[in-house]
Structure 1
Amino acid sequence: MKKPDIKAVAIATPTTTHYRLLKQALLPGKDIFAEKRFP
C-alpha cells in the first residue's frame, strides 16, 4: 500500500476482511474496488 505507483486496489477476499483491507487502502489515498456478496 505504500508504493506510490499503485493507484488502485481490488479487494477480492472474504467479507470479514474487507474493513481492515479497505482502511489500509483508503488511508494512503488509493482508489478501491470491492464487491459485496448478496445472500
Structure 2
Amino acid sequence: MEKIPILKPILLHIQLSIFYRIHNRVQYLFLFQVLS
C-alpha cells in the first residue's frame, strides 16, 4: 500500500503531460486554420 501514494502523482503527471501535448496540437491546428 505504500507504493500507491508514490505512483498516483506519477500517473497524474503522465496523464497531464499527454493532455497538454494533445491540447497544444489542437491549438496549433486551430490557429493554422484561422490564419490560412
Given the two structures, how large is their TM-score scaled by the length of structure 1? 0.32
Choose between structure 1 and 2 for higher RCO, CA contacts under 8 A separated by at least 6 residues: 1
State which structure, 1 or 2, has the greater radius of gyration over its C-alpha atoms.
2
Given the two structures, how large is their TM-score scaled by the length of structure 2? 0.34
Which protein is richer in strand relative to its size? 1
